[in-house]
């Protein structure tokens, strides 16, 4: 089937070759000028603006339509750097320093079906790291572990002008999380049990 | 010949054909491909960092094409007027019936000649997802083409 398709697609495609490498090179010279001038003028500004702090220890950077939020969390004296990237075809990618690769979800809707408050976790020595990109109402997130300990953090919005609707949070907890509670700006709570999700 | 020039000479027609439905016309796609390769050539630092050139240039071109039509990265246009339908009306109709995202994977595979790994890198999805998407597309195309043949 695929070979037949290959032949049929070849027949359907326009075979005209109007390539022009010299034109590419001419255009590239213009691109270099376009890149060189603003870079020289704005290098200092770019260094400062490449990553924008947003409070709560979060740093935000943008690339095209992708927004990456990064912070660090500590457990038992060890620190992990974590980041969340949103925006690629509506996907959300999480990365925890020291873990292989990234974990990416499908669209955000799928993420929220999978875990409450946009959360994903990773097992680390002595506990878990939880991080999430949650919808706007959640101002504080509290995780209760199976041993009854609670861990809390405020959610952080991206700096003004950054195109992301999410508030970000990260927590390192000793042991295993049992439930997550999010509080809105008025202190109203929504609690989600994690037992049914494991 | 530099690797980028080699890529251009090998893949220009495929890039243009795969981008034409997104850019809106063959001429617009030509302009997008020219500009994308020019940007790649002009950005020497980024060029040196790239392990796979084709997906990188594709992403540049894809964004240019969407920007030219004021579409977001999540949107894929439905306009397939670029297809030379009279050569294979059944296949053209079958392609039209594919969801836009699956259609894009098919175009990258069959027009631009991308490998599964290159498609995965270009669209930021796992190679397994590419394989599954192509399998679904093949099944859909197969059904549509079989129906036409009946």
| Residue after which a domain boundary falls, among B60, B79, B98 | B79
Choose between A128 and A113: higher pLDDT.
A128
Q: State the ipTM, two decimals.
A: 0.82
Q: Are B83 and A12 a contacting pair at CB < 8 A?
A: yes
Instruction: State pLDDT tens for residues A134-190.
Output: 876 788 888 888 888 888 888 888 877 777 778 888 888 888 888 888 888 777 877
User: How does residue B150 score in pLDDT terms, banded at 50, 70 and 90?
Assistant: very low
The last residue of a domain, from among B26, B45, B79? B79
In this structure, the answer to whether residues B94 and B31 fall within a common structural domain is no
In this structure, are B20 and B65 located in the same domain?
yes
Q: Are A156 and A169 in contact (CB under 8 A)?
A: yes
**Residue owning tokens 């990109």:** A133
Residues B63 and B110 in one domain: no
User: Cβ A21–B5 below 8 Å, yes or no?
Assistant: yes
**Interface touch A28/B91, C-beta < 8 Å:** no
Cα of A90 to nearest chain B Cα, Å = 7
**Same domain as B97, residue B72:** no
The whole-model pTM stands at 0.51
Structural domain range at position B114: 86-150
Q: What is the pLDDT of residues B94-131, one digit of tens each?
A: 888 888 778 888 888 888 888 888 888 888 888 888 88
Single out the residue of B79, B141, B81 nearest to residue B110, CA to CA: B141
Please tell me whether residues B68 and B140 are part of one structural domain: no
Spatial neighbors of A26 by CB under 8 A, at least 6 apart, are B38
For A9-64, the pLDDT digits (tens) are: 777 778 888 889 999 998 888 776 665 555 554 444 444 345 555 555 788 887 76
Residue that terminates a domain, selected from B31, B61, B79? B79
Residue B56 sits in the same domain as residue B129: no
Distance CA A25, CA A113 (A): 49
Q: What CATH number has the domain bearing residue B133?
A: 1.10.10.10
Q: What are the residue boundaries of the structural domains of chain A, listed by start?
A: 2-49, 53-197
Same domain, B103 and B71: no
Give me the number of domains chain B comprises. Answer: 2
């Amino acid at each position: 089937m695929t070979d037949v398709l290959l032949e049929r697609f070849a027949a359907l495609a326009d075979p005209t070759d109007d390539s022009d490498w010299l034109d590419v090179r001419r255009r590239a010279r213009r691109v270099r000028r376009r890149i060189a001038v603003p870079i020289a003028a704005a290098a200092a500004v770019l260094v400062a603006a490449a990553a924008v702090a947003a409070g709560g220890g979060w740093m935000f950077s943008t690339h095209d339509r992708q927004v990456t939020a990064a912070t660090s969390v500590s457990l038992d004296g060890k620190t992990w750097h974590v980041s969340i990237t949103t925006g690629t075809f509506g996907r959300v990618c999480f990365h925890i320093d020291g873990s292989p690769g990234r974990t990416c979800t499908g669209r955000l809707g799928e993420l929220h079906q999978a875990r409450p408050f946009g959360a994903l976790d990773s097992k680390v020595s002595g506990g878990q790291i939880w991080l999430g990109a949650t919808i706007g109402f959640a101002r504080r997130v509290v995780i209760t572990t199976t041993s009854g300990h609670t861990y809390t953090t405020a959610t952080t919005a991206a700096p003004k002008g950054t195109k992301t609707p999410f508030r970000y949070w990260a927590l390192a907890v000793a042991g295993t999380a049992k439930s997550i509670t999010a509080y809105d700006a008025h202190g109203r709570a929504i609690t989600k049990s994690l037992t049914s999700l494991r | 010949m530099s690797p980028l020039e080699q890529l251009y000479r090998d893949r220009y027609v495929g890039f243009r054909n795969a981008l034409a439905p997104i850019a809106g016309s063959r001429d617009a796609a030509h302009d997008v491909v020219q500009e994308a390769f020019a940007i790649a050539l002009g950005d020497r630092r980024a060029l040196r960092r790239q392990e796979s050139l084709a997906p990188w240039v594709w992403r540049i071109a894809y964004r240019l094409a969407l920007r030219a039509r004021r579409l977001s990265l999540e949107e894929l246009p439905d306009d397939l007027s670029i297809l030379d339908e009279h050569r294979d009306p059944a296949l053209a109709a079958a392609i039209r019936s594919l969801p836009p995202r699956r259609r894009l994977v098919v175009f990258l595979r069959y027009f631009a000649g991308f490998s599964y790994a290159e498609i995965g890198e270009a669209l930021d999805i796992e190679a397994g997802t590419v394989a599954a998407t192509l399998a679904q597309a093949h099944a859909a195309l197969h059904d549509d083409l079989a129906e036409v043949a009946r």
